[in-house]
């Protein structure tokens, strides 16, 4: 199982200097990948509750966020081998042809190190600010991925759909990775799982209890089989937003939150589920407020993964 780490591009540790420190240290330690997420804005009076906190409030780190693609492009120029992933970009905020070209540039400039995580988002405030609509967003997402694939893999590229239209055009260069950079979807609803099973290369869950993750992963594999795809070709990349504590938190804790022993057990369970990658991210923990915390927990989580038998 590969191991990745989140870059400090969200929260008080998000500075150019800290991004470089973490990226270079991760590469030195032998991490496989670095990841960014996306937050467009921090609404003062949010229209949508945040699912990751008991009171529905957005975590404070979201007040400060370096844009994900620009951050990865910066890191690409300052690293050599480590993969660079988006976990995840919110597709309704983009045009698919424009995004395809930006992602292609990142793949080309990095020498083929890009991994693309995509999702639909949830914030009504962000949708409003981006001029996006939640109406028919599932069908839009399906077409969005189809346009990405058409742009990346055909020449001339062309697409005519319900929502997006690409006239027959030469769009060069193409990505370094063939046939295209791997696409992971953060999918949870039945329709989204169907989309991942038919169009994506993998699934990227976050904040999902292990039992539900097991059930959903099995469902996604069944859907892929029904669509005529080999389910063993799909990859499971689990985002682990972790918080380390000195004392065990017990059975009712969140996945990847707790003592080193508890988190080690979680890593082993994800490995046993068949995950091909786990992405550790301390952004929302007390350690995530400083670059020293990022660097310290990077070594701690690598050691836990090794102890769990999860590394190569």
Q: Residue range 123-136: average pLDDT?
A: 97
Torsion of CA 303, 81, 232, 105, to 10 degrees: 140
Tokens of 251: 């059975």
Asked whether 260 and 302 are in contact (CB, 8 A), the reply is: no
Q: Is the pLDDT assigned to residue 67 strictly greater than 80? A: yes
What contacts 232, CB < 8 A, 6 or more positions away? none
For the chain, the average pLDDT equals 97
| Percent of the chain at pLDDT exceeding 90 | 96
Q: How confident is the model at residue 44 (pLDDT cuts 50, 70, 90)?
A: very high
Q: What is the DSSP letter of 255?
A: T
Please give the pLDDT value at position 53: 85
Torsion of CA 253, 262, 288, 208, to 10 degrees: -50
Q: Which domains does the chain have, with CATH numbers?
A: 2-307 (3.20.20.30)
How many DSSP H helices and E strands does the chain contain?
9, 12
Say how far apart CA 276 and CA 215 lie, in whole Å. Answer: 17
In angstroms and rounded to an integer, the radius of gyration of the C-alpha atoms of the chain is 19
Residue 306's closest CA among 269, 267, 274? 267
Q: Residue range 160-174: average pLDDT?
A: 98
């Amino acid at each position: 199982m590969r191991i990745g780490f989140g870059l400090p591009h969200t929260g008080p540790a998000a500075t150019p200097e800290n991004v470089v420190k973490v990226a270079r240290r991760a590469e030195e330690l032998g991490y496989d990948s670095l990841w960014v997420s996306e937050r467009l804005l921090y609404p003062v009076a949010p229209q949508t509750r945040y699912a990751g906190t008991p009171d529905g409030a957005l975590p404070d780190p979201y007040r400060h966020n370096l844009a994900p693609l620009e951050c990865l492009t910066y890191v690409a120029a300052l690293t050599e081998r480590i993969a660079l992933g988006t976990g995840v970009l919110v597709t309704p905020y983009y045009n698919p042809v424009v995004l395809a070209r930006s992602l292609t540039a990142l793949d080309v400039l990095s020498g083929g190190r890009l991994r693309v995580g995509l999702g639909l988002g949830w914030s009504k405030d962000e949708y409003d600010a981006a001029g996006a609509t939640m109406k028919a967003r599932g069908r839009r997402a399906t077409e969005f991925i189809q346009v990405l694939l058409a742009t990346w893999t055909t020449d001339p590229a062309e697409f005519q759909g319900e929502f997006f239209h690409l006239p027959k055009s030469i769009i060069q260069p193409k990505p370094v990775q063939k046939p295209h950079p791997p696409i992971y979807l953060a999918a949870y609803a039945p329709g989204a799982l169907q989309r991942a099973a038919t169009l994506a290369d993998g699934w990227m869950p976050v904040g999902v209890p292990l039992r539900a993750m097991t059930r959903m992963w099995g469902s996604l594999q069944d859907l892929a089989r029904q669509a005529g795809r080999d389910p063993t070709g799909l990859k499971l990349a689990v985002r682990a937003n972790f918080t380390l504590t000195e004392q065990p938190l017990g059975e009712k804790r969140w996945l990847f939150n707790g003592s080193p022993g508890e988190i080690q057990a979680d890593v082993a369970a994800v490995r046993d589920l068949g995950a091909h990658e786990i992405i550790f991210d301390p952004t929302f923990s007390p350690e995530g407020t400083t670059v020293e915390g990022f660097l310290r927990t990077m070594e701690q989580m690598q050691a836990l993964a090794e102890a769990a038998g999860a590394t190569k």
